[in-house]
Structure 1
Amino acid sequence: MGNFSSTASSSTTDGKKYDVFLSFRGEDTRYGFTSHLFDALRRKQIETFIDNRLVRGDEISQALLRTIGESKIAVVIFSKDYASSKWCLRELAEIMKYKKLNEQIVIPVFYHIDPSDVRKQIGSFKDSFAKHENELQEEVQKWREALTEASSISGWDSSVLRPESTFVGEIVKDIWKKLNNISVSSDFPGLIGIDKHVEQVISLLCLGVSDFGIVGIWGMGGIGKQLLLMLYSN
């Protein structure tokens, strides 16, 4: 099922293509929410890129830009001081560029930040941009547009009352479902309307559960048994 058969954590790019790219401000969430999300994705055997460098400059390497562009899904974790990082803003601008070029899926996560603060660049985001505009006027407008567009995408808001473990679990389920849809669409592009039926079968198969199982597929010829077998074996 796509690439999600093993996991990876990396501080440098290695030419590998990833299912998920995590964008986050390290000082805000590295040792908390982001680490929990990455660990949950790893347990699901979803190839996920996370930048583990504790100290980062302002410029993004070409290798990292390539990793962003080749990832199937970008998860952007907006936190209180996300916009204070030029690195994060440049990363986000690239993600939104690839959303337009490659139809990359972007999932925003609003972690202890109001989505409207991100969309309108108010609150802590306003303070961060006041500093950026004095230094980088040419890039600021592009960053504002990227923030407005990304925050307008349907995503996940931590302010909805729930245990954080449940919050992480729901995000992982959403990512898993989207990856399955990508895999079905790319492997069987000519089968119009098949996605809904495949999703129902996948939900019954409990893919991603660590326990082993045996599945028997029975039926008359020509009804799609081979398709289901290929999906399950992947």
Structure 2
Amino acid sequence: MASTSIQTVPSSFTSAFSKPQPEYDVFLSFRGEDTRYKFTDHLYHALDSKKIITFRDDKELEMGKPISLELLEAIKKSRIAVIIFSENYASSTWCLEELTKIDEYRDRGILTVLPIFYHVEPTDVRHEKNTFAEAFAKHEKRFEENPKKVQKWRAALTNVANLSVKRLKDGEPEAEFIQSIVQWIYLKLEEKFSNDIEDDLVGISSHVEEMISYLDLESTDVHFIGICEKSGMGKTTLARAVFDKILNQFEACSFLENVREESKAHGLKTLQERLLCDIGKRGLRVKDEHKGMQVISDILHNKKVLIVVDDG
């Protein structure tokens, strides 16, 4: 049986970090009926196999329902947005709302965007031809009393479609195309992570290495590391930097933020379901806290896992 060690260390460094760390590496924007169980599913699992944390909305869109706050928050908390332009993408007002928000964060320089043309012609998207023209004609009629909404969608579509893109052509092997996307994202994330460390953190590198040494990653023991310091001194920043650097060495991982506030407001059951979502059990619900502990224990048994519990 693996032994357990508990250590407490001070964070004791000054952070110049001024913006929140993203929770997701990638946000996938797609038209469900076109690609949910085909291209998007294959891409999601290819990213997951590389330990790239990806947000994919698994819910079927209900007609007339506005875009959820969860989706808007996920876009805000992502590093890269991948937009899969498929035949019926523009027919979804939900997709167009996502697109508008993505373009807003891209314009502010806090989100990298990769458009993908999935069996559609780039000119159809950029110049609203064929199904894209048909979709906007319907939107203009439906929202004739609110033309500014359609104008915003149209502007976002044009802006994003004119970026450097990847295109899947008819007859091209889909598996190879997906691997090229994953490789592009992997390299871009490495670049962004390096820039984040260089631009936003002061004197953190040595502390990250020190923390990693306490974890003793080659060991099969269970390790608990506590970071103690006054509020605002960089505990979360240090924990996130360590987490991002070593997560690829684990079979499952989760970074649970603001656990004190979350547990008070919603109870431990909500935190347990967030953890289950992070380790690949998205949508799994637990009956109560005791059952949640049992389910988590069963799933993570004999696995090498990394869990960070942060109380803000």
TM bracket (short chain): 0.7 to 0.9
From 27, 30, 35, the equivalent of 1:24 is: 30
State the alpha-carbon separation in 1 of the partners of residues 191 and 65 from structure 2. 35
TM-score by length of 1: 0.73
2:62 counterpart of 1:52: no
How many matched pairs?
181
Partner of 2:108: 101
1:140, distance to aligned residue in structure 2 (A): 0.8
Partner of 2:273: none
From 176, 180, 185, the equivalent of 1:175 is: 185
Larger-Rg structure = 2
1:17, distance to aligned residue in structure 2 (A): 1.3
State the alpha-carbon separation in 1 of the partners of residues 182 and 52 from structure 2. 9
State the alpha-carbon separation in 2 of the partners of residues 98 and 154 from structure 1. 17
8 Å contact from structure 2 (residues 27, 80) kept in 1:
yes
State the alpha-carbon separation in 2 of the partners of residues 232 and 96 from structure 1. 28
Partner of 1:187: 197
State the alpha-carbon separation in 2 of the partners of residues 232 and 99 from structure 1. 25
Runs of 4+ in structure 1 displaced over 4 angstroms? 230-234
Partner of 1:74: 81
From 41, 56, 66, the equivalent of 1:35 is: 41
1:233, distance to aligned residue in structure 2 (A): 5.1
Q: What percentage of residue pairs aligned between the two structures are identical? A: 45
> Aligned partner of 2:48: which letter?
R
In structure 1, the gaps of 5 or more residues are 1-15, 191-211, 213-229
> Aligned partner of 2:122: which letter?
P
> Aligned partner of 1:50: which letter?
R
1:91, distance to aligned residue in structure 2 (A): 0.7
8 Å contact from structure 2 (residues 24, 54) kept in 1:
yes
In structure 2, the gaps of 5 or more residues are 1-21, 201-217, 219-241, 248-312
State the alpha-carbon separation in 1 of the partners of residues 127 and 110 from structure 2. 24
Partner of 2:150: 140
8 Å contact from structure 1 (residues 58, 86) kept in 2:
no
Structure number with the bigger relative contact order (C-alpha 8 A, sep ≥ 6) is: 2
Say which structure is richer in strand.
2
> Aligned partner of 1:43: which letter?
S
From 86, 93, 96, the equivalent of 2:93 is: 86
